[in-house]
Amino acid sequence: MQPASSNTNRSLQDKYGGLYAFAKDVTLSNLAEERSPEKLIRLTNKLERFAEKEIAGLHDQISQIGEKAVGILPVCRLGCWHCCTHIVLATAPEILNLADQIRATWSDEEILALRARIAVHKAITQPVRDGTAPYPPRPVCPLLKDGGCSIWTHRPLVCRGWNSVDVEACIQQREHPETKVPTRGLAPQFAITDYVRQGMSEGLEGRGMNSETCELAYGLEIALDNSDAAERFLAGEDIFAPARAGIEKWN
Ligand code: SF4
Ligand code: SF4
């Protein structure tokens, strides 16, 4: 059964709901037997590429509308990073995929520097987990480097789903989070990644694995600390549970 997403309206569900079924089926079939970290990573990359293809199609449609598309044209550009101060929530396969990529391609010094940024991020966000923060802070994502995402091709689905049509709203929300100014994202793009993520989550549950999202920075630290994190997750261990502590307080 397709999920009724609170973030998408009926027409988006009609248009993109099939992505949910696809992602669920692919996840179930890929994790049916002989599970391995390599297989999990291939699956995650496949679903991320699938979402990207749909998003590219959406952007094509928007650009073909011409002048009338002005109010719905994404204004995002390289070097604009105000959105990279939201708390990023990601599933375990996305985090494991990231950790694998970082281990394979980053130097020891770069990983040490990342760990230091994660430590700062955790310290800033701890009052939210403790329930003492008056409103969620907006710390810079530890994966942001020199104004750009350092893991762009492996970024989580939620980051892929976010494009704004109003940069001023992004700036206002980052500089004054206490005002809770709404950001103006591209709803169909968010729907694409949300349905893919929900389908993947349902597939993970069907294979006995935890499907909930957790805090990216915290989860990444767990994955980097435990070289056997993927094997343990595939065996059904809820290894990322600490990275979900107080997660409901981010909303
Ligand atoms: S979502 Fe907002 S802050 Fe992020 S790149 Fe787009 S315009 Fe810039
Ligand atoms: S993972 Fe990349 S795109 Fe997502 S918030 Fe962090 S720096 Fe930004």
Pocket mutation for ligand 2, best pick of 84, 173, 197 (most atoms within 8 Å of C-beta): 84
pLDDT computed for residue 66 by the predictor = 67
Let me know if residue 22 belongs to a domain.
yes
pLDDT in tens, 125-177: 998 888 888 777 889 999 999 999 999 999 999 999 998 888 999 999 889 88
CB of 160 shorter than 6 A to ligand 2 = no
Q: Which domain holds residue 154?
A: 10-250
Let me know if residue 183 belongs to a domain.
yes
pLDDT band at 92 (very low <50, low <70, confident <90, very high): very high
Residue 51 reports pLDDT greater than 50? yes
Work out the average pLDDT over 223-247. Answer: 93
Q: Which atom of ligand 2 is nearest to the CA of 155?
A: 1
Pocket mutation for ligand 2, best pick of 144, 145, 213 (most atoms within 8 Å of C-beta): 144
pLDDT computed for residue 1 by the predictor = 37
Give the closest residue (by CA) to ligand 2 atom 4: 159
Residue 110 reports pLDDT greater than 80? yes
Pocket mutation for ligand 2, best pick of 143, 150, 162, 183 (most atoms within 8 Å of C-beta): 143
CB of 114 shorter than 6 A to ligand 2 = no
pLDDT in tens, 64-85: 876 666 667 788 888 899 999 9
Let me know if residue 103 belongs to a domain.
yes
What is the whole-number distance in angstroms between the Cα of residue 189 and the centre of ligand 1?
14
Residue 50 reports pLDDT greater than 80? yes
Let me know if residue 4 belongs to a domain.
no
Distance CA 240, CA 217 (A): 11
Distance CA 70, CA 63 (A): 9
Distance CA 239, CA 176 (A): 35
CB of 141 shorter than 6 A to ligand 2 = yes
Distance CA 27, CA 197 (A): 11
Mean pLDDT score of the chain, rounded to an integer?
A: 90
Let me know if residue 2 belongs to a domain.
no
Distance CA 58, CA 19 (A): 14
Closest ligand (CA of 154): 2
Let me know if residue 130 belongs to a domain.
yes
Distance CA 220, CA 12 (A): 32
In the chain, the amino acid numbered 220 is L
pLDDT in tens, 7-45: 447 788 888 889 999 999 999 999 998 889 999 999 999
CB of 89 shorter than 6 A to ligand 2 = no
Residue 6 reports pLDDT greater than 90? no
Decide: 191 and 51 in contact? Cβ < 8 Å. no
pLDDT computed for residue 233 by the predictor = 95
pLDDT computed for residue 69 by the predictor = 62
Residue 225 structure tokens: 């600390």
CB of 170 shorter than 6 A to ligand 1 = yes
What is the whole-number distance in angstroms between the Cα of residue 193 and the centre of ligand 2?
15
Tell me how many domains the chain contains: 1
The residues facing 185 across adjacent strands are: 164
The more confidently predicted of residues 1 and 71 is 71
pLDDT computed for residue 189 by the predictor = 93
What is the whole-number distance in angstroms between the Cα of residue 1 and the centre of ligand 2?
31
Closest ligand (CA of 185): 1
pLDDT computed for residue 119 by the predictor = 97
Let me know if residue 238 belongs to a domain.
yes
Distance CA 17, CA 5 (A): 10
Q: What is the DSSP string of the chain?
A: -----TTS-HHHHHHHHHHHHHHHHHHHHHTSSS--HHHHHHHHHHHHHHHHHHHHHHHHHHHHHGGGGGGGS----TT--GGGGSPPEE-HHHHHHHHHHHHHHS-HHHHHHHHHHHHHHHHHHHHHHHT--SS---PPPTTEETTEETTGGG--HHHHT--BS-HHHHHHHHH-GGG-PPP-B-HHHHHHHHHHHHHHHHHHHHTT-----EEHHHHHHHHHH-TTHHHHHHTT--TTGGGGTTGGGG-
pLDDT band at 5 (very low <50, low <70, confident <90, very high): very low
Closest CA to 206 of 46, 30, 34, 38: 30
pLDDT computed for residue 251 by the predictor = 65
Closest ligand (CA of 169): 1
The more confidently predicted of residues 94 and 183 is 94
Let me know if residue 210 belongs to a domain.
yes
